Amino acid sequence: MLGVDGTGDEEPLFRPYAVTGGRAEPRYHMAMETLVSSSSIMDEELALLTPEQDAIIRLCRSFRSVAEISALLRVPLGVARVLVADMADEGLVRLHQPRLDQGQPDLNMLERVLSGLRRL
């Protein structure tokens, strides 16, 4: 990501904890391997999104893990969790939580996360 001055200095798109009101944890548990996808959003709603929400919507046109969102936006994992959880509450994104309560993680999901991490 280009810096604000366009010099190529890599800076986050936004000041991480300013956009979360200082919160570092979402209101509910969200694993870093939780997959996120964009919901259908009408054009007039797109104009109302914050720059952070817009960036996440664009990233999540294909499934992304919360860890990938954190890495791609260059923000701490806690900040990415808070932003994604708030967006899920607003219906902007859908969360696809791993089903760890069944004893074994979904192998397909783990392979997708590993593939995404390798692309970083």
100 vs 22: CA distance, rounded Å = 29
Residue with tokens 């390798």: 118
CB-CB neighbours of 68 under 10 Å = 22
Question: In order along the chain (120 residues), what is the average pLDDT of each group of 10 residues?
Answer: 43 62 76 90 80 92 94 89 93 84 69 79
Q: List, for residues 22-36, the tens digit of each pLDDT value.
A: 676 778 888 888 999
Contacts 24+ apart (CB under 8 A), 67-70: 67/32, 67/33, 67/113, 67/117, 68/113, 68/116, 68/117, 68/120, 69/36, 70/32
68 vs 80: CA distance, rounded Å = 9
Query: Does the predicted TM-score (pTM) go above 0.85?
Result: no
Phi, psi of 107 (to 5 degrees): -60, -40
How many CA atoms lie less than 13 Å away from 50 in the CB half-sphere? 14
